[in-house]
Amino acid sequence: MKEGRSSKSLAGSMRRRGWVTVLLALLPFAGICFSVPLWDRIEPRVCGLPFNFAWLIGWMVLTPICLYGVYRSSAASERAR
């Protein structure tokens, strides 16, 4: 248990980290699933691919990045406890 920090700011930073975690976890769902009417089209083409294909391929790379953010922020809050 770490001493020398007021419990108020520690709890506060943990709450903020909790929100970041939730947000990062939900971001792929928003981008890949719920927003489909927004990006389900052929134009503009990206590298020759229809936009919907390129969008989903992009999220295949973005999702690990989001999860990495969750991994780091929950590891950080584990260390802070």
Partner 1 sequence: MSASATALALILGIVTAATALGIYAGSRRTMDLEQWTVGGRQFGLVLVWLLIAGEFYTTFTFLGACGWAYSKGAPVLYVVAYQPLGCVIGFFVLPRLWEVGRRHRLQTLADFFVVRFRSERLGALVALIGVAFLIPYLQLQLTGLGIIVEVASDHAVGRTPAMLIAFLLVAAFVSASGIRGVAWVSVLKDALMLVTVLVVGLTIPYLYFGGLAPMFTALERANPGHLVLPGSTRDLGHAWYITTVLLSAVGVPMWPHFFAANLSARSADTLRRNAMILPLYGITVPLVLFVGLAATLLLPRLGNGDLAMLALVRRTFPPWFLGVVGGAGALTAMVPAAILILSASTLFAKNLVRPMFAPQMSDAAVARLARRTVFLVTGIALLLAMHGSRTLVALLLLGYAGIAQFFPGVVLGLFWPPIRKSAVAAGLLVGIGLTAALMASGHDPWHGLNAGFAGLCANLLVTVGFSLRVPADRAGSRAA
Contact between residue 58 and residue 67 where contact means Cβ atoms under 8 Å apart: no
**Shortest Å distance, C-beta 32 to partner 1:** 5
* Binding residues vs partner 1 (CB under 8 A): 25, 28-29, 32-34, 36-37, 40-42, 45, 47-50, 52-53, 56-57, 59-61, 63-64, 66-68, 70-71
> What are the residues whose beta carbons fall under 8 Å from the beta carbon of 76, sequence distance 6 or more?
17
Checking phi first, is residue 4 left (phi over 0); if not, alpha (psi -120 to 50) or beta? left
**Shortest Å distance, C-beta 30 to partner 1:** 11
**Shortest Å distance, C-beta 70 to partner 1:** 7
